[in-house]
Amino acid sequence: MKHSPARRQALIAMSLAVAAPLFAIAADAGPAPRLSRHGPAPDFVGIDTWLNSPPLSIAALRGQVVLVDFWTYGCINCVHVLPHLVEWHAKYKDRGLTVVGVHTPEFAFERDTSNVKQALQRHGIRYPIAQDNKFATWNAYRNRYWPTAYLIDRSGELVFQHAGEGAYAETERTIELLLG
């Protein structure tokens, strides 16, 4: 069926008016969080020093949603992720989220605790930091990249992982989903 140009334009405008709210909802929502069960989360092992916290364990954090972030202060990609972690810690700590940074050094100078403490001050990090100079926790998680974030549900199961920068909206939606 042929429509006049004016009629075609009116039909397109009407279709867009009906569909626009649906596209807005879909754009706001983004992709659904991708939860996949990977079994029990490994514990924090071989930690040299705990900063901003007494020593923690996955068992003691049961009942919390835990975000474990492998990072090192000399990695620019890690530094780009830090503002999001600081924000999520502030925003969700009272709702049951515990952020734990696992500082695993890439270079020898990053092993020095005083340098790590300076980085915590510089970036406003108040959440617990495990200094993993021997890569023991890194290896327990079979981690390969800086930065990598892991989310652990309230039962202690590893359910989400993202390596590198980005996926901030998806990670936050997953945090909210896990917090209920």
pLDDT in tens, 9-23: 654 555 444 444 433
| The pLDDT value given to residue 21 | 41
Question: How many Å apart are CA 166 and CA 145, to the nearest integer?
Answer: 14
Question: How many Å apart are CA 91 and CA 80, to the nearest integer?
Answer: 18
Percent of the chain past pLDDT 70, that is, above it, reads 82
Average pLDDT, whole number, for the chain? 89
Stretch 54-64: mean pLDDT: 98
pTM of the model: 0.82
Stretch 126-133: mean pLDDT: 98
| The pLDDT value given to residue 13 | 52
Percent of the chain past pLDDT 90, that is, above it, reads 79
